[in-house]
A = this chain, B = another copy of it.
Amino acid sequence: MASIKDFTWHKGITAKDLVGSFGNVGLQSSELHKAAETIIRMKKASAKIYLTFTSNLVTSGLRGFFAQLIRLGLVDAIVTTVGGLEEDVMKAKGEQFDLGTFESNDYALYEKGINRVGNIQIKNESYAKFEECIIPILEKSYIKKKRWAPCDLLASIGGMLTDKDSILYQASKHNIPVFCPAITDGAFGFHLFMLQQKYPDFVVDVVQDFKRLLLMSSQDELKGLIALGGGVSKHFAILGCLLNGGLNYAVYMTTARHTSGSLSGATTNEAKSWGKIKDDADAVTVIGDVSITFPLVMAHVLETLTEEGLLND
C-alpha cells in the first residue's frame, strides 16, 4: 500500500514528474496518476484503444492534441459527436476561435454573430466557412456512391483536408475509424438533409457503423477505453467492447457524478455489473475538467512511452 508523501516543488519540474508525485498526494491527484499508469499499461500490452470525447473538447485547444495522439499511434478508434467534427473542419479551413469569459452578455454576443461554448467563442462566419467547404465534399461523395456508412463519409472528408492538426485528417491518413453515433445532430445534419432533398437516393446507413464497430474488435483481443466526458460517445464505445467480451482497461475522465444514475456519470464499478468492464480490469475514474486533467495525464504517458520507443515518430 502506497503512503501519502509530502509534495514539494523543485525548479524545472516536468509535467511527468509532477504526475509522478501525484501517486503519493492522494485525493483526485492519485486517481490521475493511476489513470496515467493504466494508459501506459494498455499501450504496452498492445490493447486496442478507443478514445471518446465530447464536442466541447474539440472547441477547445485539445483538438490538435487529439490529432497528435492519432499521429503518435496511441489511438485505434475514435467516437465523438458531430458538433466537434464540424469545428474540426472549420479549424482545418483556417477559422479561429476566441477565448472569452463564462459570464457574457449573451444577447450582445448574438447580435455580433458570436456563439458561446463556455468561455470559447465561435463566429457565425466559421459556420459559413464550414458550409462552403462541406457542400462540395458531400456532392463528390454522392457521386462516388449513394449509401454511406458514417465512418466512411467522415474518412472521406478527412481525406480532403490538409491540416496536420485536424482530427479527421489524421484519422483518415492513419486509417483510424471515427464513429459518430448521432451523425445528424448538428449543422452537418442539415447539409445531409439538403443533399437528400436533391438526391433522394442518398442514404447515411448508421447500421453499417454498428457492424464496423462490432467487427473491429474480437473476443480475444485486449481492449482499452479512454472516455473523456460522457454521452453517446462514451456509451457507443463501451457497447462495442461489451459485445466483444468487455474492456480490459478503462479510464473515465469526467465532471459528471454517479448519483443520478446517468451513463455519463456511471463509474467503472457500475460498468462491471454489465460486463462492460471485466472484473479484473485496470479501471479508474478521474473527476475533473478534462481540459486540465487530460493534457496532464498524457504528458506523463507520452513521456514514458516515447522513452520506451512505443510511439510513432
Please give the residue numbers on chain A whose beta carbons come within 8 Å of chain B beta carbons, in ascending order: 1-9, 11-15, 17-18, 21-32, 54-57, 59-65, 67-68, 81, 83, 91, 96-100, 102-104, 106-107, 109-110, 114-120, 147, 165, 181-186, 189-190, 192-193, 196-197, 202-211, 214, 229-232, 235-236, 239, 243, 255-266, 269-275, 279, 287-293, 295-296, 298-299, 302-303, 306
Contact = CB atoms under 8 A, between A and B. Distances in A.
A61 to B, nearest CB: 4
**Which of A189, A203, A214, A302: most chain B CB closer than 10 A?**
A189
Contact of A6 (B31, B56, B65, B265): B65
A17 B214 CA distance: 41
Given A120-B4, A299-B9, A62 B99 contact: no
Contacts of A256: 255-256, 264
A185 B232 contact: yes
B273 A115 contact: yes
A73 B11 CA distance: 16
A203 B99 CA distance: 42
B99 A299 contact: no
A231 B55 CA distance: 11
Lowest 5 CB-CB distances: which A-B pairs, in order?
Answer: A6-B64, A118-B261, A28-B289, A25-B61, A27-B291
B298 A9 contact: yes
A231 B232 contact: yes
30 contacts: A1-B98, A3-B97, A3-B98, A5-B61, A5-B64, A13-B303, A15-B18, A26-B97, A26-B261, A26-B291, A27-B118, A29-B61, A29-B289, A56-B263, A59-B261, A109-B272, A110-B273, A116-B273, A116-B274, A185-B235, A185-B239, A190-B243, A192-B207, A196-B211, A202-B207, A203-B205, A203-B207, A206-B206, A230-B231, A255-B257
A196 B206 CA distance: 11
B229 A210 contact: no
B98 A8 contact: no
Given A14-B12, A59-B261, A83-B235, A120 B27 contact: yes
